[in-house]
Amino acid sequence: MDDRLLAIFRAEAGERLDQMVQTLLAVEVGDGDAESVRELFRHAHSLKGTAGMVGLQSIGTVAGAVEDLLSEARATGDLDAALVGPLLEVTDAIRGAMDGAPLEPEPVVERLRAAEARARGEGGDDAGPAGSAPDAQRTTEIVPIAPPAGTSVATSPPPPARRRTRTLRVAAERVDELLDVAGQAVVGMRRFEHLAGPDIDERVRDELQTGEGLMITLQEAALRLRTLPLSSIVGPFPRAVRDIAMQEGKEAELELVGVDAQLDRVILDGLSDLIVHLLRNAVSHGIEPPDEREAAGKARQGRIVLSADTSGSGVVIGVGDDGRGVARELCERASTPAELADLLSAPGFSTADHVGDLSGRGVGLDAVRRDAEALGGTLLVESAPGRGSEFTLRMPTTLAVLGLLLVERAGQVFGLPLVVLEEVVEAECIVSLGDRVAVELRGEAVQLVDLADLLSMPPATAPATGPVLIVSALNRRVAVRIDRLVGEQEAVVKPLGAVLANVPGYLGATVLDDGSIGLIVDARHVVRAASALAATAPRPALTAAAGGTSGGDVEATVLVVDDQHTVRELQRTILTGAGYFVVTARDGREALDVLDREPDVRLVLTDIEMPVLDGFGLLLQLRDDPRWSALPVVVVSSRGDEADRRRGAEAGADAYVDKSEFDQRTLLEIVERLVIR
């Protein structure tokens, strides 16, 4: 069978099974109606037909047995709640078979018929649980059994009937390609408008702005294709809560609020396991046993709420319960939700009296926090002893396009994701704390650090006045000093490539409106580097151009030669920020032409592998020309083996920098040494 058709079947069948589970759980607590039963029948009928068409006969046989069982209930409009458990087990078996687990139809069908006979009061042999589906239970790792009295899983009121819409299944790679092209189109329009300058004809400017608006609309449409609602992954969660409550002998209700919030599918893929873990903890270590709840004046049935709300450029996802809460002594040790999250997510920490299949409240939260941070999010915890807890995941909406605040420090422009920016304050708020400085923010002293220090830039004089960014990441706040605010921009994130792949501190790069490359700063690196700087003495400040001058006030000119635009721009921004004047060329032949026009070039940075004339060829021609025979040349290449280094030295290179070991400060030290020699 065609793999493409099988993939389509699995996707459609998975949606039908999710809807069947949701309907069965509603029937179990008395919220079902005649339409619910008819909907179950239609799903079973469709599964039977499509499974047969793609050659999955075992699934078709089991789905047909479900259809037979539901045929009478469809006629009466009433489904016996005693059949909910067996039918749920059948959905598990089908889901497992779709994922490759073995499925023997006969035992499953026989057990389903036996359950139907018992529900009718016809007796029959005792039958064990329906055919198992280990893969279908992977979210809870529990074998489902009949629920105890009072256990229920409720969702928000069912939405009104919706008009059926047509859907088109597209490979994720194609959506990402469309988003990338759309982002580049936006940048291209902005770059063209920048190059046109302020004096262009008004009609031309209007057309450019119209074109840019259309490109932005295209980018937003492509981004919407990449995002999905949180509801697309919550289907298994009610069943997970039900199963955990059954094993724990508790009564629990799950409420879903705001799950139509949109998130990047990459984030959703990683978010499912995090939420299931929080739900598991809420049932196992938040919700008390029914008798204990009654004694405390609570309803026997515990309440768990999974909520989502769009906030700025991110989504806030909460898992709250009305259970026993975190121990009072632990709450008293933490003054903020971030500190309580730190305490509970310390590796190996547990609030449980014993360790079992469902471990203590804190066990595993370190993995939840680590995985959330890897997706660009944070974990916060609030708790009221005896009244419940709220675990909050603050996640970005997407990882493909970021809202950035563009800032400048020491002549370089950087982007900082808006989602990690709390606010911007003025430098007048700075206070001294011994030999350290901080920003006083509503009575709290927030450590102040210089962006130049965090990113290992050349020493530069810190501005006495101006904006200070309050950045929040890893449950910590840091105040970051910059020179000025440049503006905001929606940016398509690009990987850094070989040049800066091993340099910490950056999420990626983006093309700015003027066509230059801007590095996107990783807020997690900001916080970690700030902690490291707190343990060291501050370095003395020097003038911004000190590293780039040759002993006077005239900027030294550096020629950067590389066939990759991104690499040229990255090196240009680094050198310009250090006070150098930079000219660029795409290959060795173009570099020789630039040298003819720019006789004041003091140093050349060149790649090796380039079209027309490579780096070795450029070196040989420079050394054969009396005008350039003494010109310092630094090779910056991904070819870093000993043979290439030796060949570069023989051709006359003064220094060799391996791109895989690229370090901004080391490069600037080499350039400064060669320029002023």
Q: DSSP of 605-660, one letter per residue?
A: EE-SS-SSS-HHHHHHHHHHSTTTTT--EEEEES--SHHHHHHHHHHT-SEEEEGG
Residue 305 has pLDDT above 60, yes or no: yes
Same domain, 395 and 412: no
pLDDT band at 348 (very low <50, low <70, confident <90, very high): low
Same domain, 342 and 435: no
Same domain, 564 and 518: no
User: Domain residues for 508?
Assistant: 401-534
Last residue of a domain, one of 534, 555, 576: 534
Give the H/E segment covering residue 193: helix 172-196
State the first-to-last Cα distance of the chain, in angstroms, to the nearest integer: 71
Residue 20 lies in a domain: yes
Residue from 418, 430, 417, 435 nearest 466 by CA:
430
Same domain, 392 and 405: no
**Cα dist from 517 to 381, 418, 472, 496, whole Å:** 38, 18, 25, 11
Residue 582 three-state SS: strand
pLDDT at residue number 456 = 82
Residue 160 lies in a domain: no
Among 300-309, 368-377, 448-457, 627-636, the least confident range: 368-377
Share of the chain above pLDDT 90, in %: 21
For residue range 492-529, list pLDDT tens digits in order.
787 776 666 667 788 888 878 777 788 999 988 898 88
pLDDT band at 657 (very low <50, low <70, confident <90, very high): confident
Residue 176 has pLDDT above 70, yes or no: yes
Residue 157 lies in a domain: no
pLDDT at residue number 163 = 44
Please tell me the distance from the alpha carbon of residue 44 to that of residue 134, in angstroms, as a whole number: 21
pLDDT band at 364 (very low <50, low <70, confident <90, very high): low
- Which residue bears the tokens 């006359």? 652
Residue 483 lies in a domain: yes
Same domain, 473 and 339: no
Same domain, 586 and 598: yes
- Show the tokens assigned to 571: 């090196």
Residue 298 three-state SS: coil
Comparison of pLDDT for 294 and 48, the residue scoring more: 294
Last residue of a domain, one of 534, 564, 592: 534
Average pLDDT, the chain: 79
pLDDT at residue number 545 = 34
pLDDT band at 4 (very low <50, low <70, confident <90, very high): low
The CATH number linked to 79 is 1.20.120.160
For residue range 122-165, list pLDDT tens digits in order.
654 444 433 333 333 333 333 332 333 343 334 444 444 444 44
Share of the chain above pLDDT 70, in %: 82
The CATH number linked to 604 is 3.40.50.2300
Residue 162 lies in a domain: no
Same domain, 306 and 331: yes
Residue 187 lies in a domain: yes
Residue 216 three-state SS: helix
Amino acid at 617: G
| Mean pLDDT calculated for residue range 434-456 | 79
pLDDT at residue number 349 = 61
pLDDT at residue number 573 = 72
**Cα dist from 556 to 57, 588, 602, whole Å:** 76, 21, 6
Please tell me the distance from the alpha carbon of residue 282 to that of residue 252, in angstroms, as a whole number: 10
| Mean pLDDT calculated for residue range 622-630 | 91
Same domain, 414 and 332: no
Same domain, 387 and 407: no
Amino acid at 561: V
Comparison of pLDDT for 502 and 333, the residue scoring more: 333
Residue 215 three-state SS: helix
| Mean pLDDT calculated for residue range 107-113 | 89
The CATH number linked to 507 is 2.40.50.180
Residue 391 three-state SS: strand
Residue 191 has pLDDT above 80, yes or no: no
Q: What is the pTM of this model?
A: 0.57
Task: Enumerate helices (H) and strands (E) in the chain, giving the number of each.
Answer: 20, 23
pLDDT at residue number 342 = 83
Amino acid at 112: L
For residue range 196-210, list pLDDT tens digits in order.
777 888 888 888 888
Residue 479 has pLDDT above 60, yes or no: yes
Q: How many CA atoms lie within 13 A of 228 on its CB side?
A: 14
- Show the tokens assigned to 572: 């240009």
- Which residue bears the tokens 């079902």? 32
Residue 158 lies in a domain: no
CA 195 to chain CA centroid, nearest Å: 34
Same domain, 522 and 619: no
Among 27-36, 276-285, 439-448, 530-539, the least confident range: 530-539
pLDDT band at 250 (very low <50, low <70, confident <90, very high): very high
Same domain, 145 and 130: no
Same domain, 586 and 530: no
Q: How many CA atoms lie within 13 A of 199 on its CB side?
A: 0
For residue range 605-620, list pLDDT tens digits in order.
999 888 889 999 999 9
The CATH number linked to 326 is 3.30.565.10
pLDDT at residue number 359 = 37
Whether residue 278 contacts residue 318, with contact meaning beta carbons closer than 8 Å, is answered with: no
pLDDT at residue number 461 = 75
Whether residue 283 contacts residue 247, with contact meaning beta carbons closer than 8 Å, is answered with: no
Residue 167 lies in a domain: no
249: left (phi over 0), alpha (psi -120 to 50) or beta: left
Last residue of a domain, one of 534, 562, 587: 534
| Number of folded domains that form the chain | 4
